[in-house]
Amino acid sequence: MKSRNINVKSKIYLLAIINLILIMLFIFLGLNESNFNYNISKRIPKIIAIIISGSSIAFSSLVFQTMTNNRILTPSILGLDSLYIFFQTVIVLMFGSSSIFMLNKNINFIFSTMLMIIGTLTLYKLVVLRKRNIFFLLLVGTVMGTLLKTSATFMQVIIAPNEFEALQTVLYASFNNVNINILFFSLIITVAIAGVVYDDIKKFDVMLLGRENAINLGVNYDKLSYKIIIIVSILISVSTALVGPLTFLGILIVNLSYQWLKTYKHNLLIIGSILISILALVGGQFIVERILNYSSTVSIIINFIGGVYFIYLLLKESNI
């Protein structure tokens, strides 16, 4: 057991070293005396945004899969991405792309985050009050997500072309022109949540055994599940409002973490998932900027790879 833990920690150290090297390349590659100040002021906020969003998605996806005991589910099934897209579309349709809700990123961030959090908690409260299980919540979330996305698509059809072009800039994840004020606020929220869940990490290991076994071992399963839903809704809402939706990132990195680390301990899985998430986002952004010359976005790359991997997992689970 001790040798296995040492092996897992060695893999985590390797991931940390690779991340550090890639981040240094991303920040300092191509710098000279004439462009140093400008590029540093742009690249460092990008890295901080990547670390915040990557950590939020990795942690929330991992604990969400632990709660549902399912490796092919992610928090996006609750419809948070669709709610974000719907909200942004409604703003452009009703107020236009030149309204304060679109031009002022601070206001947009606050409203988007609060709406997604309130929507998720309201949905969960309704399910709990009717004494339904967590899978009923996922079913309702899937239906609501589909409804919201379809409604958003219909509204996008009737939006003027120039308004639709402005809308597209917030519908895809992007780390360009990160707002420093939003970044600082997101960092505070993320650090605060890390402190709140620190004492529950060992309980996540017990949750993997299932609801009945966890309760028999002294874990208040329903209370912890409610706490997870709150944390997940906050983290995913903050991440989505900060950089945009990254639908398939969670399922990609969590399953890679399980396969790479081969452990059930969440204190190791959380660190590994976060490092893989940051590696994927920094690598994707590096490709977008240095190879594709901004002709694509990191969300398209991540969602394409994650979508293919999701299909692979479905085929694998069905033994095809």
Please report how the helices 266-286 and 249-261 are oriented relative to each other, as an axis angle in degrees rounded to 10: 130
Q: Which CATH topology does 2-317 take?
A: ABC transporter involved in vitamin B12 uptake, BtuC (1.10.3470)
Residue that the structure tokens 């085929």 belong to? 315
User: What is the end-to-end Cα distance of the chain in Å, rounded?
Assistant: 34
The CA-based angle 231-236-239, given to 5 degrees, is: 125
Please report how the helices 249-261 and 298-317 are oriented relative to each other, as an axis angle in degrees rounded to 10: 60
Output the pTM of the full model: 0.86
Dihedral pair phi/psi, residue 98, rounded to 5°: -95, 5
Return d(Cα 238, Cα 194) in angstroms, integer: 14
Q: Classify the C-alpha dihedral 128-250-252-1 as positive or negative.
A: negative
Going from N- to C-terminal start, the domains of the chain cover 2-317
pLDDT, residue 80, reads 76
Q: What is the pLDDT of residues 217-235, one digit of tens each?
A: 888 888 888 888 888 888 8
pLDDT means over runs of 10, the chain (320 residues) = 72 93 90 86 88 91 86 77 84 83 80 81 68 69 85 87 79 71 85 89 88 86 84 84 79 88 89 93 86 78 78 68
pLDDT, residue 133, reads 64
Reduced to 3 states, what is the DSSP secondary structure of residue 34?
coil
